[in-house]
Structure 1
Amino acid sequence: MSEGILAVLLSIGLMSGCFFLFKIPAIPLTKSDRKLPGLSVIIPARDEEESLPNLLKSLKKQTYRPLEIIVVDDASTDDTALIAAAYDAKVLSTEESELESGGKSAACWIGAEKAKGEWLLFLDADTYFVNDRALESVADQYLNQQDKGLLSIQPFHEIKKVYETASIVPNIMVMAGVNRYSLLGGQIEGRGAFGPFLLTTRKQYEESGGHRTILDSHMDDIELAKRYKETGLPVNVFSGKEVVHFRMFPESFSQLVNGWTKSLIHGSEGTNPLVLLSIALWIAGICLSTTILIGTLVTFGPTGILLPSLIYFFYCVQFRWLMNKVGQFPLWTAGFPVIYIIVFLFLYLFSVFQVKILKRVRWRNREIKF
């Protein structure tokens, strides 16, 4: 392949990396001077004794205090229910419901049925607020959109262990997959929402059918957003940077693999073709730049790698730019984009195998069938 063609391909790859995740809106930290309605916080939880205290502590510190906090215990085998009660949360159980099965959607519906607030906020147990005015700021943003429809936030990802860096590219893909943040902006129709944080009014939740209509779905964020759109209600999505963070898979690498396996393949199915193409070209550019750098080093030694190193450096800088949009990751990870691309491809192919071929995934000691 000629040098001219290689230069064109590498340039296209770099430009594509700027296309699919160009700008993500975030919730600005504000002090609201408006009267805020009663808020019910609903937290579906299964075996979340490690993560739950962080969320409940952060809720206690909020300037906008919820009317109630409801933790719906989804057949946990640990002390999730006891911990929730210790923080004065109202504890419900999927096992004591008339619903035939449990799961996240069932837990959300059970909590919504018992909630008293005018607004409903569904939070994953591994989320937490990083500023005392975070919830007040989110509420103010919701009022700015006349409390219409669904306000959803993808929490900013934090990590503590090296294996957790394997979530870098999947997190980038989750954000890109909603089709809202590309260089074309609103010219591409958005899809879905983010399951870890969903804010709505009770009235609109009931109008859309809520989680009751998606009890069998394993992608509640995508399906609930679809119900809202079918009802003629807007769906607005934001980054949680400086407001809501989470630590997704703190227990082990196997937890990380299982967690991404159950969602990656379904999450990618509705991604816009232009977004998919730009992602593919970006991945190809990273792999090509790495191959050229290694090949040049082997063939010509250190004296011939100046230009390939410069190109590879540009891709590393871009990789850092992208990861900073979705989480807080160590600086050194930017130097190994191809490693994280390979990890992502492994997770994606494993997801295809488990979901499409075996049609089952194991998560939180429960077998999920597809």
Structure 2
Amino acid sequence: MGRLLITFLLSVIGLMSGLTFLWKVPLIEKNRPSFKRRLKVSVIIPARNEEQSLPQLLSSLKDQNFPIEEIIVVDDDSTDRTLEVAEEFGIQVISEFEHTGKSAACWAGAKQAKGDYLVFLDADTFFVGSDALEKALSTYRQEMKTGLLSIQPYHVIKQFYETLAIVPNIVVMAGLNRFSLFQNLPKRGAFGPFILVNKEEYESVGGHGAILDSHMDDIELAKLYKTHHLPVEVFGGQESIHFRMFPEGVKQLLNGITKSLIHGSKGTHAVTLIAIGLWLLSTILPIVLFVLASIQEAILFIFLSIIMYGVGCLHFRWLMNKVGRFPWQTALVPFFYVLSFLVIYAWALIQVYILKKVSWRGRVHKV
């Protein structure tokens, strides 16, 4: 009976812990006043082998009601039709620059940009609504006026295998300590898919030129801004910007998650890590409790295990709605997605600490 009680209590504690790390995800507000004067904004898109994703992003940029000064696609030595796709949209393309990688591509685009404000966008993102960019700019101008504004896009999927990104998305968002119930935790990082900065300020701190060797430009750029005592704010993109992260298959999903999890988890606060760990455990414990209670014919604990499983499914649904739009049925089997996450994370550890390399977009990065 003692084991059953301990298992039940751990399950409860785990669910309660799961309420803390994504307590509130602020969104860019829907109704923002128009600007009294035009702002010069340059959009910079680092792209490597993004021929599938780029058209949707460029189309959404063309649909924005805010006049964009220029859109620059920085082709990072693509081997597909990325360059041709950008040119078909009449977009300025930079294809020759020093170094390689996302940070170098962002820096190359920033150096040629004419705008007073720079927006760095991943190629797999796209705006939702014609006023999304204007809302982000208004938020920056009215609430921050300085520093770095970042938005984590809302994840949308088309294929079943993409649901494997549910738990990694939750963990990555939680890892920044920015949406936690515990507001006194040290905040860290930003979200790389959307970053908005003032160009003059960006250049004064060194911008991406100061972090050329980094594989996680978002975390390092945010750290750079903090070093110069400049604010970093992050928002959720549910009503403004979405992305489909892994349209090319399971291999792309595994490589992308590996890169994000390993580099992103290094600076996560211990309190957040413990809360995440307890929550992951709580998705499996009701099943363990049900099996143990069935063996011992403990009717009360069988009943409690069923209740805890149901509550866990609702909680899983609550969390996954914060990070993306996934089929509701996925909430019925949270243990499956947690176990899948643990397998992916184990593979990530093997790549980083044993093989000491991570593959992404046809490149092998040594770590």
Shift of 1:301: 11
**TM-score, scaled to structure 1:** 0.95
Partner Cα separation in structure 1 for residue 268 and residue 342 of structure 2: 16
Amino acid at match of 2:13: I
1:244 equivalent in structure 2? 241
1:43 equivalent in structure 2? 45
State whether residues 59 and 65 of structure 1, in contact with CA within 8 Å, keep that contact through their aligned partners in structure 2: no
1:361 equivalent in structure 2? 358
Partner Cα separation in structure 2 for residue 28 and residue 197 of structure 1: 16
State whether residues 4 and 293 of structure 2, in contact with CA within 8 Å, keep that contact through their aligned partners in structure 1: no
**TM-score, scaled to structure 2:** 0.96
Partner Cα separation in structure 2 for residue 36 and residue 137 of structure 1: 14
1:24 equivalent in structure 2? 25
State whether residues 32 and 136 of structure 1, in contact with CA within 8 Å, keep that contact through their aligned partners in structure 2: no
Structure 1 alignment gaps of length 5 or more: none
State whether residues 142 and 148 of structure 1, in contact with CA within 8 Å, keep that contact through their aligned partners in structure 2: yes
Q: Which of 63, 70, 73 is 1:71 aligned to?
A: 73
Partner Cα separation in structure 1 for residue 283 and residue 23 of structure 2: 18
Structure 1 residues 366 and 309, CA gap change in structure 2 (3 angstroms): same
2:326 equivalent in structure 1? 329
Shift of 1:262: 1.7
Shift of 1:7: 3.1
How many residues are matched? Answer: 365
State whether residues 36 and 139 of structure 1, in contact with CA within 8 Å, keep that contact through their aligned partners in structure 2: no
1:214 equivalent in structure 2? 211
Partner Cα separation in structure 2 for residue 285 and residue 51 of structure 1: 36
Tell me whether 1:280 sits opposite 2:280 in the alignment: no
Tell me whether 1:188 sits opposite 2:189 in the alignment: no
State whether residues 207 and 231 of structure 1, in contact with CA within 8 Å, keep that contact through their aligned partners in structure 2: no
Q: Does the residue aligned with 2:114 lie in a helix, a strand or coil?
A: coil
Partner Cα separation in structure 2 for residue 36 and residue 236 of structure 1: 23
State whether residues 55 and 128 of structure 1, in contact with CA within 8 Å, keep that contact through their aligned partners in structure 2: yes
Tell me whether 1:254 sits opposite 2:244 in the alignment: no
Structure 2 alignment gaps of length 5 or more: none
Q: Can you list the C-alpha shifts for 1:107-152, whole angstroms capped at 9, x where unaligned?
A: 0000000000000000000000011111111111011224210000
Q: Can you list the C-alpha shifts for 1:177-234, whole angstroms capped at 9, x where unaligned?
A: 001111112x111000000000001011112211111111101000000000001110
State whether residues 152 and 238 of structure 1, in contact with CA within 8 Å, keep that contact through their aligned partners in structure 2: yes
Counting only pairs closer than 5 Å after superposition, residues 157-168 of structure 1 correspond to structure 2 as 157-168=155-166
Amino acid at match of 1:112: A
2:133 equivalent in structure 1? 135
Q: Does the residue aligned with 1:152 lie in a helix, a strand or coil?
A: strand
Q: Can you list the C-alpha shifts for 1:264-314, whole angstroms capped at 9, x where unaligned?
A: 111011111111111111112222112223444577599984331111000
Shift of 1:368: 1.2
1:151 equivalent in structure 2? 149
Q: Can you list the C-alpha shifts for 1:77-107, whole angstroms capped at 9, x where unaligned?
A: 11111110111110001xx22x2x2110110
